[in-house]
């Protein structure tokens, strides 16, 4: 116990070197360590020593044997050896305790040891971080297999970094799609919540830094391998994944050289079954309704809320993700070090979907319906409904490449000079193809939506009819959508730091500069819906599933084989009742192989060639907010940071940093040509129509053939202060204050403009403009003049560290945010055809203010004091509370009036749960490592306007239990099992405004089980 106490005393007094590396210089020993020895320890790196200990084959806590002790009781040769979950948690605690800024971390001492399958899933364990269950908030019908967007303290303004450098995805332009990065490549992830001035700007919510491994992190040769078989129980299919790492360092005539190579391949899949309704439509019950009802449950004049559709959906999703990471380090002398790195990550998710329902049909009162307390329809039977079926294929190919080079020079004990060069390139291709069919037989929908398990059964209304009759099904419509996006960036950074003597109050001054040059090209189409042979409102032209084409037109003999019969086995695990005995759908093969392939078959269903035609990859022809969006951005940053601290002062032991970052942003944008609306009205005889005359001349000009463009620049001054006070050796108090920015997305900066003309039949203005005034000239547009959203950030935290690996931390945060971006109505002037006209244009604009405040409480404890095997027990937990006021949501697509209208409603901020928590039970000994973790977040607004529903959608509270257990087999092997979603948690969504938001969607997905093996040599 004496030795253990000495070790704990030493651990409590770790100081941070002025260069940001952990150095074992302790205040009770510092008088006996010469500066030269201190500098030598710095260059060796205490972090390498920690990794060396963790790389030893033993597991659990152990002692290296008897050894002599020094005067202070510390064993000179004695070491504590820790691996597994405990080692990772200790490393994460160390990073938080010793950091100069407010940060939380997750770490992996072994390759493949992060607790979750993807980075986004692992991040949800961090206090204040929440995970969205869908990759696209506007598409809540399609949940992600690994979770989607990441929020920090309820905000989506999250910056992403790789080893402290910018990294991003072409799919969204500003940040990384974290679900696209393999967790196997990472040594850890840091979540910065209040920065210092030398950190890259751009994240109001926070910054997430992904850290890869380096060869100099380990003392010598390391080889590690991991593999697993992952089984999805609802889909009843297995997927294999694996990773490998090899690293070594060599003493050569040119100096020390280290090489690391790592490769990961991850395959995963899942199935989601969902039952959902559409938007709930207010319907007034009439006297005739009551008179014709046999058993009315409401009275005449009552308003009830009836969904305009209902149906079910099955999606089979899978993804292959590969990643390569390489690192070369060279230390030609003790004062000079070079590091070159490359990371190439590629993800190819794809899915196939079968959905059916009576989509978007108007509803009326039915006396078999039962209504809830708020008047929403909850159960009943709907008769004689028209059915729509569709088969949809979606696929993406996303690739990110990151190449960097860093040089570090320490000519003496005072100076450190670094320079850093990076190139990032990201591409993303998106494909979506849907084919629809109808059926002659009308359906009877028997449903019950009152509980957590929905019920929906669909049978033919006419008992003599059959859904299974192939000839009763016919081709109805098709829809395609494509994207081809790319982005790249060059960046350079240089830093010079001067370190003062140890006894100085001012520890160091750091000056730096950074330059970036980024370009991004987004090419995307609209969703191109087109008619095939017929619709219910256009009977008589049907090309049926057993026919080869439209009568009298071209015939395709194989067309009947482009269909499939689906019977939805084990739908909702059999708990919701099988929706139907089976239905015919377009085949997966038809929609998975490209729009040209689909058209080769579907053109045979068109009458005289009229109807759906696939989109061209000439994106310049796309209107309504699609087309080509070319963005350029250069930034110029300069910063200064002063670090200070004192071991002894009138107020005790304290340290911190203060600094300022000045950054200038220069942006440019080019887009597709301005779209001019058509004019079909004429001026009534005997009246004056000056606005109509001006409009006719305006459209004859050349504005519609001119590519839109814009440019913008702004400068931000971003001061920061991070102060830490040591109340005791175990208790430290932090205060942090900073200014931050979050630049607008490249979609919001799109300069594309759509101008419209609003006239009545007499040629008089009848549009609605600014302030409700009547105008003939309206429009929608992106806004290349947008400024960033800005914030003032404040943090106060109390951090208590005790024992070997225990801590309790409490943090309070407050953010004042201004210049939220939202869709506003502004007046803009355009000239064409000799006419200069002021249009009232809906476009993204800066404005509105808001406040975010909350608290985070985290607790980690290992119960070493318990007897025997119970001493391996541990607990980790955290809880976060977030509240907001003010602020604005923004429309993803300003050219969609449903989005702009709903974004203007009085709603909370999207993605913000008031409460979230994590709890994990841990058990670890020298032979076994086990963990059961439960993650939960409260309800939140998912989107202000969901696709197709065009109304706000809310996510109910959601919790998920995951667990793993690993066994040590000999010195080098671990085997184990891992389970995800063990409680078979369901996702529930609601639709409506805050006053009435009934459940509209119930989704069941897989439990996943993995058998895994890890080796390390």
* pLDDT of 20 over the 80 cut: no
Q: How far apart are CA 285 and CA 298, in angstroms?
A: 8
CB-based burial of residue 768 (10 Å sphere; 0-12 exposed, 13-18 middle, 19+ buried)? middle
DSSP state letters, 884-942: EEE-----S-TT-HHHHHHHTSS-PPTT--SEEEEEEEEEE-SSEEEEEEEEEE--EEE
Classify domain 103-530+617-1016 at the CATH topology level: Maltoporin; Chain A (2.40.170)
Spacing of C-alpha 331 from chain mean position: 38
- Higher pLDDT: 720 or 995? It is 720
Backbone φ and ψ of 584, nearest 5°:
-90, 140
> Which residue ranges make up each domain of the chain?
2-81, 103-530+617-1016
Alpha-carbon distance values, 474 to 378, 528, 544, 826, 997 (Å)? 32, 20, 4, 47, 36
636 dihedral zone (left: phi>0; alpha: psi -120 to 50; beta): beta
Tokens matching residue 481:
């959508």
* pLDDT of 179 over the 60 cut: yes
Which pLDDT score, from 0 to 100, does residue 84 have? 77
Q: How far apart are CA 332 and CA 328, in angstroms?
A: 13
Q: How far apart are CA 605 and CA 554, in angstroms?
A: 9
Tokens matching residue 896:
């969609």
* pLDDT of 590 over the 60 cut: yes
Going by pLDDT thresholds of 50, 70 and 90, the confidence category of residue 31 is very low
Q: Is the dihedral of CA 572, 140, 347, 352 positive or negative?
A: positive
Which pLDDT score, from 0 to 100, does residue 38 have? 36
Q: How many CA atoms lie within 13 Å of 488's alpha carbon, on the beta-carbon side?
A: 6
Lowest mean pLDDT: which of 141-150, 332-341, 999-1008?
141-150
- Please list the residues that pair with 355 across neighbouring strands: 313, 390
- Please list the residues that pair with 200 across neighbouring strands: none
Going by pLDDT thresholds of 50, 70 and 90, the confidence category of residue 26 is very low
Average pLDDT, rounded, for the chain: 86
* pLDDT of 469 over the 80 cut: yes
Which pLDDT score, from 0 to 100, does residue 642 have? 98
pLDDT per position as a tens digit, 927-956? 999 999 999 999 999 888 877 778 899 999
pLDDT per position as a tens digit, 866-892? 999 999 999 999 999 999 998 888 877
Going by pLDDT thresholds of 50, 70 and 90, the confidence category of residue 573 is very high
Q: How far apart are CA 354 and CA 535, in angstroms?
A: 19
Q: What is the mean pLDDT of residues 784-811?
A: 95
Q: What is the mean pLDDT of residues 446-467?
A: 92
- What are the helix (H) ranges across 286-427? 287-292
Q: How far apart are CA 200 and CA 516, in angstroms?
A: 11
SS3 613: coil
Give Dmax (Cα) for the chain. 111
* pLDDT of 62 over the 60 cut: no
Which pLDDT score, from 0 to 100, does residue 25 have? 32
The strand order across the sheet containing 455-460 reads 370-371, 377-385, 443-448, 455-460
SS3 528: strand
Which pLDDT score, from 0 to 100, does residue 407 have? 98
* pLDDT of 18 over the 70 cut: no
Tokens matching residue 973:
């092997």
In this prediction the pTM is 0.88
Q: Is the dihedral of CA 666, 671, 673, 676 positive or negative?
A: negative
- Please list the residues that pair with 634 across neighbouring strands: 517, 666
SS3 291: helix
- Higher pLDDT: 801 or 139? It is 801
SS3 507: strand
Q: How large a percentage of the chain has pLDDT more than 90?
A: 63
Which pLDDT score, from 0 to 100, does residue 577 have? 79
Contact in structure between 548 and 556 (CB atoms under 8 Å): yes
Tokens matching residue 812:
């309070």
Residue position matching structure tokens 């529930």 = 988
Residue position matching structure tokens 């009836």 = 306
Residue 40's CB: how many other CB atoms inside 10 A? Answer: 11
Contact in structure between 303 and 348 (CB atoms under 8 Å): no
Which pLDDT score, from 0 to 100, does residue 54 have? 33
pLDDT per position as a tens digit, 506-552? 999 999 999 999 999 988 888 899 999 999 888 889 999 999 999 98
Which pLDDT score, from 0 to 100, does residue 675 have? 82
Which pLDDT score, from 0 to 100, does residue 241 have? 93
Tokens matching residue 234:
């609802």
Which pLDDT score, from 0 to 100, does residue 66 have? 30
Going by the DSSP 8-state scheme, the letter that residue 63 receives in this structure is: B
Tokens matching residue 416:
């450190």
Q: What is the mean pLDDT of residues 153-167?
A: 91
Which pLDDT score, from 0 to 100, does residue 40 have? 34
Q: Which H or E element spans position 699?
A: helix 690-699
Rg (CA), the chain: 31
Which pLDDT score, from 0 to 100, does residue 546 have? 97
Alpha-carbon distance values, 270 to 265, 319, 352, 708 (Å)? 17, 9, 11, 43
pLDDT per position as a tens digit, 210-244? 999 999 999 999 999 999 999 999 999 999 999 99
pLDDT per position as a tens digit, 94-142? 999 999 999 999 888 666 666 666 777 788 889 999 988 776 767 777 7
Going by pLDDT thresholds of 50, 70 and 90, the confidence category of residue 963 is very high
Q: How large a percentage of the chain has pLDDT more than 70?
A: 88
Contact in structure between 972 and 57 (CB atoms under 8 Å): yes
Q: How many helices (H) and strands (E) does the chain have?
A: 10, 49
- Residues with Cβ < 8 Å from 373, sequence gap 6 or more? none
Tokens matching residue 372:
């809830």
- Residues with Cβ < 8 Å from 204, sequence gap 6 or more? 155, 157, 740, 741, 742, 789, 790, 791, 793, 815, 817
Q: How far apart are CA 167 and CA 57, in angstroms?
A: 35
Contact in structure between 845 and 888 (CB atoms under 8 Å): no
- Residues with Cβ < 8 Å from 270, sequence gap 6 or more? 145, 232, 234, 235, 317, 318, 1005, 1006, 1008
Which pLDDT score, from 0 to 100, does residue 172 have? 57
Which pLDDT score, from 0 to 100, does residue 1009 have? 95
- Please list the residues that pair with 764 across neighbouring strands: none
Which pLDDT score, from 0 to 100, does residue 73 have? 36
Which pLDDT score, from 0 to 100, does residue 626 have? 62
Residues 532, 537, 540, 545: what is their CA dihedral angle, to the nearest 10 degrees? 40
pLDDT per position as a tens digit, 332-357? 999 999 999 999 999 999 999 999 99
* pLDDT of 69 over the 50 cut: no
Going by pLDDT thresholds of 50, 70 and 90, the confidence category of residue 171 is low
Q: Which residues of 420-454 are buried (b: 16+ CB within 10 A; e: fewer)?
A: bbbebebbbbbbbbbbbbbbbbbbbbbbbbeeebb
pLDDT per position as a tens digit, 716-753? 999 999 999 999 999 999 999 999 999 998 888 888 88
Tokens matching residue 431:
């494909």
pLDDT per position as a tens digit, 700-717? 888 877 778 889 999 999
Alpha-carbon distance values, 102 to 23, 623, 807, 813 (Å)? 20, 45, 15, 11
* pLDDT of 47 over the 70 cut: no
Per DSSP bridges, beta strands 186-194 and 22-23 are: unpaired
Beta strand ranges found along 278-414 (DSSP E): 280-284, 303-307, 310-333, 336-357, 370-371, 377-385, 388-409
Which pLDDT score, from 0 to 100, does residue 236 have? 95
Contact in structure between 473 and 563 (CB atoms under 8 Å): yes
Q: Which residues of 352-389 are buried (b: 16+ CB within 10 A; e: fewer)?
A: bbbbbbbbeeebebeeebebbeebbbbbbebeebbbbb
Which pLDDT score, from 0 to 100, does residue 903 have? 67
* Nearest residue to 524 (alpha-carbon basis) of 401, 659, 431: 431
Tokens matching residue 583:
């239905």
- Residues with Cβ < 8 Å from 618, sequence gap 6 or more? none
Per DSSP bridges, beta strands 675-676 and 753-757 are: parallel
Residue position matching structure tokens 């841990």 = 922
Contact in structure between 794 and 777 (CB atoms under 8 Å): no
* pLDDT of 904 over the 90 cut: no
- What are the helix (H) ranges across 215-313? 287-292
* Nearest residue to 739 (alpha-carbon basis) of 763, 726, 757, 721: 721
SS3 318: strand
pLDDT per position as a tens digit, 607-637? 877 899 998 887 766 655 567 889 999 999 9
Q: Which H or E element spans position 93?
A: helix 84-98
* pLDDT of 677 over the 90 cut: no
pLDDT per position as a tens digit, 803-834? 888 999 999 999 999 999 988 888 999 999 89
* Nearest residue to 441 (alpha-carbon basis) of 384, 381, 363: 384
* pLDDT of 587 over the 60 cut: yes
């Amino acid at each position: 116990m004496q030795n253990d106490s000495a070790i704990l005393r030493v651990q409590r007094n770790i100081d941070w070197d002025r260069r940001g590396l952990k150095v074992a210089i302790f205040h009770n020993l510092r008088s006996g360590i010469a500066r030269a020895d201190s500098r030598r320890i710095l260059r060796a790196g205490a972090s390498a020593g920690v990794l060396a200990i963790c790389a030893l084959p033993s597991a659990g806590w152990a002692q290296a044997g008897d050894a002599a002790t020094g005067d202070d009781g510390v064993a000179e040769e004695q070491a504590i050896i820790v691996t597994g979950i405990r080692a990772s948690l200790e490393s994460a605690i160390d990073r938080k305790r010793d950091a100069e800024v407010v940060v939380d971390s997750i770490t992996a001492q072994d390759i493949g040891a992060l607790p979750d399958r993807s980075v986004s899933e692992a991040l949800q364990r961090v206090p204040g971080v929440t995970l969205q269950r869908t990759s696209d908030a506007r598409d809540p019908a399609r949940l992600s297999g690994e979770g989607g967007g990441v929020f920090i303290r309820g905000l989506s303004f999250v910056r992403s970094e790789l080893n402290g450098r910018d990294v991003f995805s072409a799919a969204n332009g500003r940040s990384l799609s974290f679900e696209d990065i393999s967790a196997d490549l990472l040594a850890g992830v840091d979540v910065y919540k209040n920065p210092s001035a030398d950190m890259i700007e751009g994240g109001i919510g926070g910054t997430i830094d992904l850290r890869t491994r380096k060869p100099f992190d380990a003392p010598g040769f390391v080889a590690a391998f991991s593999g697993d078989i992952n089984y999805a129980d609802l889909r009843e299919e297995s997927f294999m994944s694996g990773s490998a790492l090899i690293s070594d360092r060599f003493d050569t005539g040119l100096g020390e050289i280290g090489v690391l190579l790592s490769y990961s391949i991850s395959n995963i899949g899942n199935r989601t079954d969902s039952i959902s309704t559409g938007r709930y439509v207010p319907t007034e019950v009439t006297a005739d309704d009551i008179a014709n009802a046999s058993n009315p449950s409401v009275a005449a004049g009552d308003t009830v809320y009836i969904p305009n559709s209902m149906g079910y959906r099955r999606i089979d999703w899978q993804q292959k993700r590969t990643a390569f990471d390489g690192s070369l380090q060279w230390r030609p002398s003790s004062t000079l070090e070079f590091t070159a790195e490359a990371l190439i990550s590629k993800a190819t998710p794809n899915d196939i979907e079968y959905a059916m329902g009576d989509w978007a049909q108007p509803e009326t009162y039915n006396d078999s319906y039962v209504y809830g307390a708020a008047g929403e329809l909850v159960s009943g039977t709907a008769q004689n409904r028209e059915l729509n079926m569709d088969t949809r294929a979606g696929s993406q190919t996303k690739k990110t490449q990151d190449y960097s080079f860093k040089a570090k020079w320490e000519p003496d004990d005072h100076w450190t000079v670094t320079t850093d060069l990076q190139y990032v390139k990201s591409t993303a291709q998106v494909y979506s193809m849907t084919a629809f069919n109808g059926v002659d037989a009308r359906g009877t929908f028997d449903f019950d939506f009152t509980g957590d398990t929905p019920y929906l059964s669909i049978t033919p209304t006419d008992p003599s009819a059959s859904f299974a009759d192939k000839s009763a099904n016919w081709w109805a419509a098709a829809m395609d959508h494509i994207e081809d996006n790319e982005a790249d960036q060059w960046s350079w950074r240089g830093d010079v730091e001067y370190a003062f003597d140890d006894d100085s109050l001012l520890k160091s001054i750091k000056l730096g500069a950074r330059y970036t040059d980024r370009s991004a090209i987004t090419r995307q189409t609209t969703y191109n819906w087109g008619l095939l042979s017929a619709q219910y409102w256009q009977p008589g032209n049907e090309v049926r599933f057993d026919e080869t084409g439209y009568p009298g037109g071209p015939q395709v003999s194989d067309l009947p084989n482009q269909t499939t019969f689906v019977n939805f086995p084990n739908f909702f695990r059999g708990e919701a009742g099988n929706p139907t005995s089976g239905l015919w759908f377009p085949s997966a093969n038809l929609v998975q192989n490209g729009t040209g392939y689909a058209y080769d078959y579907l053109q045979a269903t068109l009458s005289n060639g009229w109807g759906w035609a696939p989109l061209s990859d000439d994106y310049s022809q796309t209107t309504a907010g699609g087309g080509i969006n070319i963005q350029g951005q250069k930034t110029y940053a300069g910063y200064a940071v002063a670090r200070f601290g004192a071991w002894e002062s009138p107020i005790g032991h304290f340290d911190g940093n203060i600094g300022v970052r000045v950054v200038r942003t220069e942006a440019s944008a080019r887009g597709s040509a301005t779209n001019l609306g058509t004019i079909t009205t004429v001026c009534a005889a005997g009246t004056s129509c000056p606005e109509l005359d001006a409009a006719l001349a305006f459209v004859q000009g050349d504005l519609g053939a001119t590519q839109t463009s814009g440019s913008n620049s702004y400068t931000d001054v971003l001061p920061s202060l991070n102060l830490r006070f040591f109340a005791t050796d175990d208790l430290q108090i932090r205060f942090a204050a900073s200014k931050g920015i979050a630049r607008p997305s490249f979609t919001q900066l799109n300069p594309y403009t759509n101008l419209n003309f609003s006239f009545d039949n007499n040629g008089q203005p009848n549009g609605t403009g600014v302030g409700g005034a009547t105008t003939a000239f309206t429009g929608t547009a992106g806004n290349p003049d947008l400024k960033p959203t800005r914030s003032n950030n404040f943090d106060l935290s109390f951090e208590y560290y005790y024992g070997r690996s225990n801590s309790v931390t409490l943090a309070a945060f407050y953010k004042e945010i201004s210049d939220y971006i939202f869709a506003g109505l502004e007046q803009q002037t355009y000239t064409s055809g000799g006419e200069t006209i002021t249009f009232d244009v809906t476009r993204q604009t800066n404005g509105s203010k808001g406040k975010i405040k909350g608290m985070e409480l985290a607790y980690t404890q290992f119960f070493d004091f318990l007897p025997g095997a119970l001493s391996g027990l541990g607990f980790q937990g955290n809880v976060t509370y977030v509240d907001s006021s003010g602020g604005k949501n923004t429309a993803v697509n300003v050219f969609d009036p449903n989005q702009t209208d709903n974004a203007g409603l009085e709603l909370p901020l999207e993605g913000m749960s008031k409460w979230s928590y994590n709890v994990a039970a841990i058990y670890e000994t020298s032979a076994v490592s086990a963990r059961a973790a439960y993650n939960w977040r409260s309800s939140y607004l998912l989107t202000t306007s969901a696709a197709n529903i065009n109304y706000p959608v809310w996510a109910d509270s959601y919790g998920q239990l995951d667990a793993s257990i690993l066994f040590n087999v000999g010195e080098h092997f671990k085997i184990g099992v891992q389970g995800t979603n063990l409680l078979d948690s369901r996702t529930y969504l609601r639709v409506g405004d805050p006053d009435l938001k009934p459940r509209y969607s119930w989704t069941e997905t897989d439990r996943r089980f993995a058998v895994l093996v890890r080796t390390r040599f």
